[in-house]
Amino acid sequence: MKETRRIEFIFEIVRILAALVIAYGVTLLCIMLISDNPGEAVYMFAIGPFTSKRRFGQLIGKFIPYLLTGTGMCFVYASNRFNLIGEGVYLMSGCMVALVATQFMSPETPHMVFILVLILVGALTGAAFGSIPALLREKARINETVVSIMMNYALLYAATYLVKAQMYDTSITYMASEPLPAAAKLTRLVSGSQIHAGIFIGIAAVIVTALIFFRTPLGYSIRICGSNPKFARTAGIGMTSSLIAAQVLGATLSGIGGAVDIMGIYDRYMWTGLTNMGFDGLLVAVLSKKNPIFVPLGAFLLAYMRTGAAVLNYTTEIPIEFVDIMQAIIILLIAAEHFLGGFKEKYIFKATKSKNKEAAKNA
Amino acid sequence: MLDIIVKFLFSVIRVSTPLIFGALAACITKKAGLMNLAIESMMLASALAGVLVSGATQSLLLGMLAGFAAAIAITMIISYAAFVMKCDLYLTSIAMNTALVGGTVFVMFLATGQKANTAGSIASLSISSWNIPLIKEIPILGDILSGHNILTYVAFAMIFLVWFMLYKTKIGLRIRSVGENPNAAESVGISPRRIYFLSFGLSGFIAALGGMYMSMGYLSWFARDMMAGRGFISMSAMNIASGEPVSAALAALMFGSADALSNYMQMGKFPSELISMFPYVCTIVLLVLMSAVRTVKAAKQKQP
């Protein structure tokens, strides 16, 4: 049995690596084929993010919200519910943070208090909107994917309306809120880059999530309900409450992500379309195989890919969007149970067979 | 006033057309027991392929064939990943949607050399509109019903065709039986996997019509992310109707009127965002109501 588990673990890693190598290879090949100057393009994509403080800062600036949405999506994905509310909540909590910061709080509020209040606003926004699809799913059996996707669009329009009605800044030409007061901004850790204090919040979220996952009854029941609902029901685990908790916690983390992103990088709220951060969080959760401990790795990888594409976008003529295709290939290969599954079964079969032979000999 | 109402109703039909196609596409997979989240990407793929090929070859027929081929190729990738490689269907569809939003922009770049966000750079052929001979002469009704794009009439015919296919043919019976209970269907010799592939393929075919209507009828160019959630709205129209083609089409018309209304309201003082929210909020409310009705019914059945 131990042998089987060891083989499964090794194959899991091999599969993820193989998926990444294939996706990366396909991407590099595409870049080489379409670029006039393939050497430079590949260099910009692969090494570009590390070549200057500003670019590396950009990478970390993306990495921080990915930590939060990634851990959030870990909760949701581990409970085997396709609740995509993280997307809309991310945007809405950014909007609510901007609203509270510009309209309801005095700019003289002490920095720490201001930050804590705003993070709380983000978390509450996340929990409030996140509980709608979760409750509807667990209490009324309404498909959570449909409800959450509908809510994402509704939240997008609601946020746009809030900006227009409550905090529209008429002194600028594009649609955005009034600027956030200085006290509401997270400290930049490295000047001239986007590395900000939100990274501590992100790391804390990873640690707390890992503790909940592996050291509390709630985490255990969430994982069991997700991977084997029939067993969970037979074992008498309170499925409804753990599944609701998983989805609400996931949305809360996404909400904090949106708040941190607005406070860390932006001067004002200016999202006019879906940010795609919720889906990216799902990708991070897929990359880290629902394990919060691996979320930093997945988040870094995705941030690296996205930054590489952005660098490529403004240094060469290649558009940033090709990275979306790469993302899809990775998701498909990693999440496909049967990708390299034949090999795995063969190895497990062989191992068990030789073990049985030994057992027969000894007997 | 009458003039405005006639114009409004005309535009309701115009903007509802892609939603009807999308809703019908979703109905077919729903009846096979699967939720189709990838209508958005099927529509995008066919919209782009239609524009590119018809622009390059100057042949409408080839353009439309390419549109169908593109959408069906997407469905086949999804089906292969989900039913052969056992990747989660929802995850696959979502990955496909993200890939196609970016992928179409990327293909546009390859074809035109521009990082085209606002397009119009490829001259596409468009499908012409049609004045219905007799109905055109009727005073008000003629102004509303006549003069639409040919695909609009195809959409309304498609409602009947899909209903007929699902309820009156052998294929439809098989699709529905797999949707009811795949194991039971398998025990009488129907391969659920084959039915899944088939229903996704058919759904891609219908979604392709919707996509091509957008890029070759409603507009005559391709623009980045031009579906703008229409795939999801049509999916929710199907959801409200729990997969019945006729009521799904009616729901699509309802959402279409909300869309048309928000176009009109943009000129007025009422915030258009709130009207744009309508289809989404309405879906959720209706789903809750339907679930409540279901619970009440179930409770009543238990009592006697």
Quote the CA–CA distance of A73 and A82 in Å, as a whole number.
Answer: 9
Alpha-carbon dihedral angle through residues A122, A123, A128, A132, given to the nearest 10 degrees: 110
Give the nearest partner residue to B35 out of A143, A279, A338, using CB atoms: A143
Whether residue B106 and residue A325 make contact (CB cut-off 8 A), yes or no, is yes
* Res A326 pLDDT > 90: no
pLDDT at B176: 92
Counting beta carbons within 10 angstroms of the beta carbon of residue B15, is it exposed (0 to 12), middle (13 to 18) or buried (19 or more)?
buried
Chain B residue numbers with beta carbons less than 8 Å from the beta carbon of A282 are 91, 94
Whether residue B274 and residue A161 make contact (CB cut-off 8 A), yes or no, is yes
Quote the CA–CA distance of A206 and A236 in Å, as a whole number.
Answer: 29
Average pLDDT of the segment spanning A60-78: 92
Q: Does the CB of B87 have a partner CB in chain A at under 8 Å?
A: yes
Quote the CA–CA distance of B296 and A51 in Å, as a whole number.
Answer: 64
Whether residue B98 and residue A279 make contact (CB cut-off 8 A), yes or no, is yes
Q: Does the CB of B37 have a partner CB in chain A at under 8 Å?
A: yes
* Cα maximum dimension of chain A: 87
Quote the CA–CA distance of A337 and A339 in Å, as a whole number.
Answer: 6
SS (H, E, C) B180-226: HCHHHHHHCCCCHHHHHHHHHHHHHHHHHHHHHHHHHHHCCCCCCCC
Distance of CA B231 to the CA centre of its chain: 6
CB within 8 Å of A64: residues ≥ 6 apart: A196, A198, A199, A201, A202, A260, A261, A264
pLDDT at B268: 64
Whether residue A324 and residue B103 make contact (CB cut-off 8 A), yes or no, is yes
Average pLDDT of the segment spanning B196-213: 92
Higher pLDDT, residue B160 or A267: B160
Quote the CA–CA distance of B182 and B122 in Å, as a whole number.
Answer: 46
Question: Parallel, antiparallel, or unpaired: how do β-strands B148-149 and B129-130 relate?
Answer: antiparallel
Higher pLDDT, residue A278 or A92: A92
| Residue contacts between A and B (CB atoms, under 8 Å) | 132
Residues A292 and A74 sit within 8 Å (Cβ to Cβ): yes
Whether residue A335 and residue B91 make contact (CB cut-off 8 A), yes or no, is yes
Give the nearest partner residue to A146 out of B236, B281, B292, using CB atoms: B236
Of B124, B154, B153, B152, nearest to B59 by C-alpha is B124
Give the chain A residue nearest B229 (alpha carbons). A153
Condensed to tens digits (0 to 9), the pLDDT of residues B124-139 reads 777 777 777 777 777 7
Whether residue A158 and residue B273 make contact (CB cut-off 8 A), yes or no, is yes
Q: Does the CB of B285 have a partner CB in chain A at under 8 Å?
A: no
Alpha-carbon dihedral angle through residues B188, B189, B190, B192, given to the nearest 10 degrees: 100
DSSP lists the bridge partners of residue B149 as B129
Give the chain B residue nearest A133 (alpha carbons). B284
Whether residue B87 and residue A332 make contact (CB cut-off 8 A), yes or no, is yes
Average pLDDT of the segment spanning A21-49: 83
pLDDT band at A71 (very low <50, low <70, confident <90, very high): very high
pLDDT at B123: 66
Interface predicted TM-score of the whole assembly (ipTM), two decimals: 0.82
Q: Which of B225, B234, B235, B280 to mutate to probe the A interface, most A CBs <10 Å? A: B280
Quote the CA–CA distance of A191 and B254 in Å, as a whole number.
Answer: 53
Distance of CA B175 to the CA centre of its chain: 19
- Please name each of the domains of chain A with its CATH number: 1-35+320-363 (no CATH), 59-317 (1.10.3470)
Condensed to tens digits (0 to 9), the pLDDT of residues B249-273 reads 998 998 888 878 877 776 666 777 8
Whether residue A337 and residue B86 make contact (CB cut-off 8 A), yes or no, is yes
Q: Which residue has the tokens 């129209």?
A: B237
Handedness of CA B262, B265, B266, B269 (dihedral sign): negative
Quote the CA–CA distance of B235 and B38 in Å, as a whole number.
Answer: 9
Quote the CA–CA distance of B120 and B220 in Å, as a whole number.
Answer: 8
Name residues 91-150 of chain B within 8 A of A (Cβ).
Answer: 91-92, 94-96, 98-99, 101-103, 105-106, 109-110, 113, 115
* Res B287 pLDDT > 60: yes
Give the chain A residue nearest B84 (alpha carbons). A338
This prediction's pTM: 0.85
CA distance A1 to chain B (A): 24
Mean pLDDT lowest among A131-135, A189-193, B24-28 = A189-193
pLDDT at A200: 93
Beta strands in chain A, from DSSP E residues, in sequence order = none
Give the chain A residue nearest B107 (alpha carbons). A322
Q: Which residue has the tokens 């930050």?
A: A115
Residues A7 and A351 sit within 8 Å (Cβ to Cβ): yes
| A187 phi/psi in degrees, rounded to 5 | -65, 135
Give the nearest partner residue to B283 out of A150, A165, A337, using CB atoms: A150
CA distance A129 to chain B (A): 13
Chain B residue numbers with beta carbons less than 8 Å from the beta carbon of A335 are 87-88, 91-92
Q: Does the CB of B175 have a partner CB in chain A at under 8 Å?
A: no
Chain B residue numbers with beta carbons less than 8 Å from the beta carbon of A92 are none
Whether residue B95 and residue A336 make contact (CB cut-off 8 A), yes or no, is no
Higher pLDDT, residue A197 or B1: A197
- Tokens matching residue B104: 């179409």
Give chain B's mean pLDDT: 84
Which H or E run includes B149?
A: strand B148-149
Whether residue B86 and residue A146 make contact (CB cut-off 8 A), yes or no, is no
- Tokens matching residue B114: 């521009």
Average pLDDT of the segment spanning A132-137: 92
Q: What angle do CA B59, B64, B66 make, to 5 degrees?
A: 95
CA distance A269 to chain B (A): 17
Quote the CA–CA distance of A104 and A359 in Å, as a whole number.
Answer: 73
Of B105, B104, B90, nearest to B235 by C-alpha is B90
pLDDT band at B304 (very low <50, low <70, confident <90, very high): low
CA distance A356 to chain B (A): 30
**End-to-end CA distance of chain A, in Å?**
19
Residues A287 and A300 sit within 8 Å (Cβ to Cβ): no
Report the 10 Å Cβ neighbour count for B131.
Answer: 11
Average pLDDT of the segment spanning A203-223: 92
Chain B residue numbers with beta carbons less than 8 Å from the beta carbon of A76 are none
Instruction: Give CA separation, B288 vs A132, A147, A170, B27, in Å.
Output: 11, 10, 40, 20
Mean pLDDT lowest among A335-344, B5-14, B50-59 = A335-344
Chain B residue numbers with beta carbons less than 8 Å from the beta carbon of A339 are 85
pLDDT band at A195 (very low <50, low <70, confident <90, very high): confident
Quote the CA–CA distance of B31 and B181 in Å, as a whole number.
Answer: 11
pLDDT band at A254 (very low <50, low <70, confident <90, very high): very high
DSSP lists the bridge partners of residue A200 as none
Of A53, A63, A120, A22, nearest to A265 by C-alpha is A63
Residues A205 and A70 sit within 8 Å (Cβ to Cβ): no
Give the nearest partner residue to B280 out of A84, A132, A151, using CB atoms: A151
